[in-house]
């Protein structure tokens, strides 16, 4: 494997992942397989096209709700009063029939969003966090920018079709991965096939409201436990799912399928492909010394560098390690003193010129600053070396 040194240039890793091409598909459909641990994209069809995501939009709503909970801004048992805006959605859209002024908890509203994709519950949460739906949409777009969702624009908090309200399959996968990494408790909500909401204070006639998951047909198949569906006539059937078997978790995104059976069939094909045709390989383990570098002003002339975590490549059964190019990229202007564990660069793997994965490289030992005397002696030594080379050059 080729090893090259160059200055580190920070890029959004997931935006430059190598993407194995899928079969040619209509421009209004998309599909993707992503490895959860590494973010490596294993299969791709039209994944950067900005398409209407429908209610997958509310995955960002849930992300921001869990963020607000984690930051102590709200709590699951907070009482949320529904506004007229939340209770006046178009006929036919998915709702729990919130009445203006009706009060439910954050927890109950999250269940409604996760299980039946309730638009009124999503708006109630948005307004509770940000004060208004428009202010919350601004937060959604800010978070999208922070996560590097370059083909995403939110115009509302629910996903009902509006021109210009778009996400790409890649962006959906990135958001899915980020949410699962930071807030895995979302799976406690998304893995429920059915839930009966029972509250004496609810105005619905039965005194309860039954919620059947929008993808109950998939939950449990090969351990699917999340995550979010979407449908409008323009977006058609969209879904992002995740499942884990053994130590591997994968994310599958499907957009633009005509029917639920076709959506489910595509999800099963891709998830089976992920679990059955790919396997992880670890060419370099965390803490394994891979090279030594010079650090300006350091007491020792060279310092060992190691990856901060295992380098994992998710490879198809036909891939070989030799198909990947290893690159070591070192930060410029490193000066002592530096401590063990300080980041000094990255170890990256490329396939066909495209970035597959990268991990930070850190010092394996402290790099203490050399004494003044040592630095003077090194300086003088270098002068004599340069002089000697000059003299040799005169007679060459």
- For residue 68, the model assigns a pLDDT of 98
The per-residue pLDDT for range 278-304, each reduced to its tens digit, is 999 999 999 999 999 989 888 888 899
pLDDT band at 105 (very low <50, low <70, confident <90, very high): very high
pLDDT band at 27 (very low <50, low <70, confident <90, very high): confident
Active site includes 134? no
| 153, part of any domain | yes
Of the listed ranges 114-118, 200-204, 380-384, the least confidently predicted one is 200-204
Q: Which two tokens stand for residue 68?
A: 């607000």
Which domain, by its residues, includes 218?
48-245
The mean pLDDT of 361-390, rounded to a whole number, is 77
The mean pLDDT of 67-84, rounded to a whole number, is 97
347 and 326 in contact (C-beta within 8 Å)? yes
How many alpha carbons fall within 13 Å on the CB side of residue 358?
23
Query: Per DSSP, what are the bridge partners of residue 251?
Result: 34, 242
Query: Higher pLDDT residue, 24 or 364?
Result: 364
- For residue 381, the model assigns a pLDDT of 72
Q: What is the pTM of this model?
A: 0.83
| 297, part of any domain | no
Backbone torsions φ then ψ of 141, nearest 5 degrees: -70, -35
66 and 185 in contact (C-beta within 8 Å)? yes
The mean pLDDT of 2-9, rounded to a whole number, is 36
| 1, part of any domain | no
- For residue 313, the model assigns a pLDDT of 95
| 98, part of any domain | yes
DSSP structure class, residue 60: H
| 212, part of any domain | yes
The mean pLDDT of 377-389, rounded to a whole number, is 72
| 86, part of any domain | yes
Handedness of CA 308, 314, 320, 325 (dihedral sign): negative
Residue of 58, 143, 228, 351 marked catalytic: 58
Give the gyration radius of the chain's Cα atoms.
Answer: 26
Handedness of CA 382, 384, 387, 388 (dihedral sign): negative
Neighbours of 308 (CB within 10 A): 14
What lies within 8 Å, CB to CB, of 283 at 6+ separation is 311, 313, 321, 324, 326, 349
226 and 253 in contact (C-beta within 8 Å)? no
Q: Which two tokens stand for residue 245?
A: 């078997």
**What's the whole-number average pLDDT of the chain?**
89
- For residue 2, the model assigns a pLDDT of 37
The per-residue pLDDT for range 161-211, each reduced to its tens digit, is 999 999 999 999 999 999 999 999 999 999 999 999 887 766 665 678 899
The mean pLDDT of 96-105, rounded to a whole number, is 91
Residue of 81, 88, 94, 117 marked catalytic: 117
Active site includes 217? no
Active site includes 117? yes
Q: How many domains does the chain have?
A: 1
Tell me what percent of the residues of the chain surpass a pLDDT of 90. 75
Q: Which two tokens stand for residue 195?
A: 């839930």
CATH code, domain with 226: 3.40.710.10
Neighbours of 192 (CB within 10 A): 17
Asked if residue 3 has pLDDT above 50, the reply is: no
Distance CA 285, CA 351 (A): 20
What lies within 8 Å, CB to CB, of 279 at 6+ separation is 314, 315, 317
Tell me what percent of the residues of the chain surpass a pLDDT of 70. 89
The per-residue pLDDT for range 261-283, each reduced to its tens digit, is 999 999 999 999 999 999 999 99
| 322, part of any domain | no
The mean pLDDT of 98-107, rounded to a whole number, is 92
- For residue 8, the model assigns a pLDDT of 34
- For residue 389, the model assigns a pLDDT of 82
Residue of 55, 190, 191, 213 marked catalytic: 55
- For residue 371, the model assigns a pLDDT of 74
Cα 246-251-253 angle, rounded to 5 deg: 150
The mean pLDDT of 365-394, rounded to a whole number, is 75
Distance CA 220, CA 237 (A): 20
Of the listed ranges 14-18, 337-341, 369-373, the least confidently predicted one is 14-18
| 54, part of any domain | yes
- For residue 203, the model assigns a pLDDT of 60
293 and 330 in contact (C-beta within 8 Å)? yes
Backbone torsions φ then ψ of 252, nearest 5 degrees: -125, 130
């Amino acid at each position: 494997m080729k090893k090259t040194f160059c200055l580190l240039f920070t890029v959004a890793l997931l935006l430059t992942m190598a993407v194995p091409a899928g079969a040619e598909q209509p421009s209004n459909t998309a599909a993707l397989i992503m490895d959860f641990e590494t973010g490596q994209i294993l299969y791709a069809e039209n994944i950067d096209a900005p398409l209407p995501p429908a209610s997958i939009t509310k995955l960002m709503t849930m992300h921001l709700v869990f963020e607000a909970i984690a930051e102590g801004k709200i709590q699951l048992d907070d009482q949320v009063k529904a506004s007229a805006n939340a209770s006046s959605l178009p006929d036919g859209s998915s709702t729990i029939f919130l009445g203006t002024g009706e009060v439910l908890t954050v927890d109950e509203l999250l269940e409604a969003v996760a299980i039946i994709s309730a638009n009124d519950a999503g708006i109630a949460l948005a307004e509770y966090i940000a004060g208004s739906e428009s202010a919350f949409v601004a937060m959604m777009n800010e978070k999208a920018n922070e996560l590097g969702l370059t083909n995403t624009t939110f115009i509302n908090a629910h996903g009902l079709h509006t021109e210009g309200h778009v996400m790409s399959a890649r962006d959906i996968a990135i958001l899915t991965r980020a949410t699962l990494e930071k807030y895995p408790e979302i799976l406690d909500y998304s893995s429920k096939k059915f839930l009966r909401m029972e509250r004496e204070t609810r105005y619905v006639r039965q005194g309860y409201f039954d919620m059947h998951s929008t993808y109950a047909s998939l939950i449990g198949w090969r351990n699917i436990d999340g995550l979010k569906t979407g449908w409008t006539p323009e977006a058609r059937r969209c879904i992002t799912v995740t499942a884990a078997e053994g130590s591997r978790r994968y994310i599958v995104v499907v957009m633009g399928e005509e029917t639920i059976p076709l959506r489910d069939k595509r999800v099963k094909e891709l998830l089976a492909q992920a679990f059955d045709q790919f396997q992880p390989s670890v060419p370099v383990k965390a803490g394994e010394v891979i090279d030594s570098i010079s650090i300006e002003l350091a007491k020792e002339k060279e310092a060992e560098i190691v990856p901060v975590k295992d380098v994992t490549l998710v490879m198809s059964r036909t891939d070989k390690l030799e198909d990947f190019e290893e690159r070591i990229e070192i930060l410029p202007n490193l000066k002592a003193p530096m401590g063990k564990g300080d980041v000094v660069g990255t170890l990256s793997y490329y396939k066909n010129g495209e970035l597959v994965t990268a991990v930070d490289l850190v010092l394996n030992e402290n790099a203490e600053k050399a004494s003044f005397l040592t630095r003077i002696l090194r300086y003088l030594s270098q002068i004599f070396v340069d002089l000697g080379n000059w003299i040799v050059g005169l007679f060459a």
